[in-house]
């Protein structure tokens, strides 16, 4: 059964690859979906005085403002613009039904034991599952347990099972290459505009990226479990710097894609 699942994932990747037009000459990036992680009854990770859902929303809205102001040819849409609960599967649906060219999901990281952990991480859907990545993946994917009919929407995926996460991470779609390009550009934006530590660009089986039919990344903007980093993440000036870093990465990605030869 496991072998069948792996073969199926590989087949899906090869099949979908033929539909990726973002490397075609003349392709334009015209629409972005900005996803503020969590929301409503789902607080996300908790710090000493703040919640992931609130920080993610503020940065998402700030990123949208920057794009609207500086990139008039790009339409900005959000999965949420207020404190409301949006099931994970609906976030991908919002991106797909609006024919998004890029999907960026914004989150805060957390470490249960190592409270000194800090820095940014950027994830794409893919194969490179590790024990360290698995902690992030299990936390982000466990949100589905508070959704109605989650077994139906996620094809029996069990967020409590390490095996489910490992098998799920084998899924790659036609946009993996460009998702990695986007992630790398955003990482460069963080280094240039915030000077903060990068923990790298990584691949793993994140449900929010699973069904998106566009280049997609999940950005962990910092550790809310780190006392100093939590303070940083809640400052308006810091949120603007973070949004600027993501914006600059997106802008560079857009330029590179549109000037592809």
CATH number where 133 lies: 3.40.630.40
214: in domain: yes
- What per-residue confidence (pLDDT) applies to 161? 54
Residues 260 and 203: their CA atoms lie apart, in Å, by 24
| Contact (CB, 8 A) for 221 and 53 | no
CA distance 102 to 250: 9
> What is the average pLDDT across 86-108?
94
DSSP 3-state percent helix, strand, coil across the chain (nearest 5): 50, 15, 35
pLDDT for res 2: 40
What confidence score (pLDDT) does residue 209 get? 85
Domain that holds residue 107: 27-259
**Percent with pLDDT over 90 in the chain:** 61
Query: Is residue 144 domain-resident?
Result: yes
Instruction: Judge whether 126 and 176 are in contact, CB under 8 Å.
Output: yes
Helix, strand counts (H, E) of the chain: 10, 6
Q: Distance between CA 245 and CA 255 in Å, rounded?
A: 16
Left if phi > 0, otherwise alpha if psi is -120 to 50, otherwise beta: which for 140?
A: alpha
Give residue-wise pLDDT tens across range 6-46. Answer: 434 444 444 444 445 555 566 899 999 999 999 999 999 99
Q: Identify whether 153 is part of a domain.
A: yes
pLDDT band at 127 (very low <50, low <70, confident <90, very high): low
Q: Say whether pLDDT at 1 is over 50.
A: no
* Predicted pLDDT of residue 20: 53
Task: Tell me the C-alpha distance between 33 and 223, whole Å.
Answer: 24
Count the domains in the chain. Answer: 1
Task: Please report whether residue 1 resides in a domain.
Answer: no
Q: Is the pLDDT of residue 116 over 80?
A: yes
Q: Is-contact 120 222, C-beta < 8 A?
A: yes
Residue 148, pLDDT score: 52
Which contacts qualify for 141-149: CB closer than 8 Å, 24 or more apart?
141/88, 141/165, 141/205, 141/206, 141/207, 143/38, 143/42, 143/88, 144/87, 144/88, 144/207, 146/41, 146/42, 147/87, 147/88, 147/89, 148/87
Note the pTM of the prediction, 2 decimals. Answer: 0.79
Q: Which pLDDT does position 44 carry in this prediction?
A: 95
Evaluate whether residue 7 is within a structural domain: no
Using pLDDT thresholds of 50, 70 and 90, give the confidence band for residue 170: very low
Q: Answer yes or no: is 20 within a domain.
A: no
SS3 label, residue 122: strand
Which pLDDT band, with edges at 50, 70 and 90, does 200 fall under?
A: very high
pLDDT reported for residue 227:
98
| % the chain with pLDDT above 70 | 71
How many of the other CB atoms lie within 10 Å of CB of 246? Answer: 30
The per-residue pLDDT for range 56-80, each reduced to its tens digit, is: 999 999 999 999 999 999 999 999 9
Q: Cα separations (Å) of 242 from 100, 161, 238, 255?
A: 22, 33, 6, 20
- Across the chain, mean pLDDT equals 82
Q: Is pLDDT at 236 greater than 80 in this prediction?
A: yes
- Is residue 13 domain-resident? no
Q: Confirm whether 10 is domain-assigned.
A: no
């Amino acid at each position: 059964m496991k072998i069948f699942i792996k073969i199926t994932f590989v087949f899906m990747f090869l099949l979908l690859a033929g539909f990726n037009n973002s490397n075609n000459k003349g392709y334009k990036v015209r629409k972005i979906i900005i996803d503020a992680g969590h929301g409503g009854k789902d607080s996300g990770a908790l710090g000493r005085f703040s919640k992931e859902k609130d920080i993610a929303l503020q940065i998402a809205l700030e990123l949208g403002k920057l794009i609207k102001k500086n990139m008039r040819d790009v339409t900005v849409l959000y999965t949420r613009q207020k404190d409301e609960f949006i099931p994970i599967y609906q976030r991908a649906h919002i991106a797909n039904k609006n024919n998004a060219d890029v999907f960026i999901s914004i989150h805060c990281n957390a470490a249960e034991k190592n409270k000194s952990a800090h820095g940014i991480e950027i994830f794409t859907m893919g194969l490179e599952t590790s024990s360290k990545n698995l902690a992030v993946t299990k936390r982000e994917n466990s949100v589905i347990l508070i959704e109605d009919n989650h077994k139906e929407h996620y094809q029996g995926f069990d967020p409590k099972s390490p095996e489910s996460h490992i098998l799920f991470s084998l899924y790659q779609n036609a946009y993996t290459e460009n998702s990695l390009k986007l992630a790398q550009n955003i990482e460069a934006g963080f280094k240039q505009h915030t000077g903060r530590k990068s923990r790298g660009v990584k691949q793993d089986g994140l449900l929010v990226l699973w069904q998106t039919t566009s280049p997609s990344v999940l950005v962990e903007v910092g550790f809310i479990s780190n006392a100093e980093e939590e303070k940083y993440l809640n400052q308006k000036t810091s949120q603007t710097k973070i949004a600027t870093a993501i914006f600059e990465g997106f802008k560079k990605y857009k330029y590179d894609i549109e000037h592809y030869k």
